[in-house]
Amino acid sequence: MSSHNRKLTIVGAGAVGTSAAHWAVARKVASEIVLVDVVEGIPQGKALDISQSAPLCGYHGSVIGSCSYEDTANSDVVIITAGLARKPGMSREDLLAKNVQIVKEVTENIVKHSPDAVIVVVTNPIDAMVYTVFKVSGFPKNRVVGMAGVLDSARYRTFLAQALGVAPKDVTALVMGIHGDNMLPLTRLASVGGVPVEDLLSKEELERIVKRTQTGGGEIVQHLKTGSAFTTPGLCAIEMAQSVLFDEKRVLPCAAYLEGEFGISGVFLGVPVVLGSKGVERIVEFPLTDEEKEALQKSVEAVKRQVAATGL
C-alpha cells in the first residue's frame, strides 16, 4: 500500500515528537505530517527544519508545524508525546498528575478533529496515560494503543546482540508488562536466528541483560540529566504508526486494553498485538509459565496503582 492520502499528527514537538516527525519523513509513512505543540514557534520551526530533509530523503509529502488542532483534521494516526519527561531522581510515576491534565486536553482536541484516528500514546507513565486517552476519548479499545514494548524490546535485543556478538536484527525478543522496573523481558522466548538465547548465554549473563533492560530508560536519564531518551522512542512510535498506516499487521509488543487475555482484565498492559489499519486487530495470547504469570501480575498491580492515581 502506498502512503498517499495518509495523514499523521504528532502532538508534542519536544524531543520525542521531533524525532518521530524526522523518522516519519525518513520512512515516508504519510503524505501529510503535522507537528503540534502549545509553545508558539516551536512546532513551526521544527517542522520547517524537518521538511527541508525532504530532497535528501526522497519525501514528497508535507510537514506542517502548528498550535491549532484545525490543521490536524482527519488524521489517520495521532501520536501523543505531549507532557513532561523524567529528570534524574524522578520515577515515571512522578510525572503522573501533570501529564494526566495535558493528555486529557490533547485527547479532547483529537476526538473533535480526528474522530476516526488510531491514537498511539507515548507520554509517561505510559500505562496510565493510555488508559486516560481511552477513557477521555470514548474510542473503541482497538483504536487506543501505548508505545513502550517496542522500545523496551529494542533495548533488550540490542543488549542481547552485543553479548552474542551478532547482528541486532537477527535477535528476536519480547518484553511484556508495565513500562517500568517490573517489566517482563522474557528469556524463554528470546532467540537469535531461531536459536534460543538460553542455550547460548549463561543464566548470570541473561540476568544481567534483563536487569539492564528493565532500567534502560533510567540509564539514559542518568547520562542526559535534562531529559530522557528520544531518538529510538521516536522511531518506535513511527514503527507502530507505519504498521497502522500501511496495514502491515506487524506483531509488536504494545500497551493494549485487556479483557481476559492472559487472565487479566480492565487494564492496558504490554502484550504482543497485531497492528493494522484498524489499530489493535488482535492480541496474540499464548501460555505463560507460572513464574511469568506471577511476574506479569506484579505489573498489573503496579499499573492499577498508577491508574487509581489518575482519578479517572
Query: Which residues of the chain form contacts with ligand TXD (CB under 6 A)?
Result: 11-17, 36-39, 42, 81-86, 95, 99, 102, 105-106, 122-124, 126, 147-148, 151, 179, 227-230, 233
Task: Fill in the DSSP letter of residue 177.
Answer: B
Q: Would you say 248 and 274 are in contact if contact means Cβ atoms under 8 Å apart?
A: no
**Shortest Å distance, C-beta 18 to ligand TXD:** 7
- Active-site choice (4, 22, 179, 223): 179
Q: How many helices (H) and strands (E) does the chain have?
A: 10, 14
Q: Which is nearer to ligand TXD, 59 or 230 (CB)?
A: 230
Please, which residues bridge with residue 144 across strands?
Answer: 119
Residues 308 and 312: their CA atoms lie apart, in Å, by: 7
**In the complex, which residue's CB is closest to ligand TXD?**
14
Cα separation of 283 and 262, whole Å?
10
Task: In angstroms, give the least distance from the CB of 168 to ligand TXD.
Answer: 18
Indicate the residue among 61 and 180 with the shorter CB distance to ligand TXD.
180
State yes or no: is 113 an active-site residue: no
267, 129 Cβ separation under 8 angstroms: no
CB of 234 to ligand TXD, least distance (A): 8
Q: By C-beta, is 233 or 253 nearer to ligand TXD?
A: 233
> In this complex, which beta carbon is closest to ligand TXD, that of residue 3 or of residue 232?
232
Please provide the DSSP assignment of 117-136 as one string: PEEEE-SSSHHHHHHHHHHH
Which residues are part of the catalytic machinery?
179
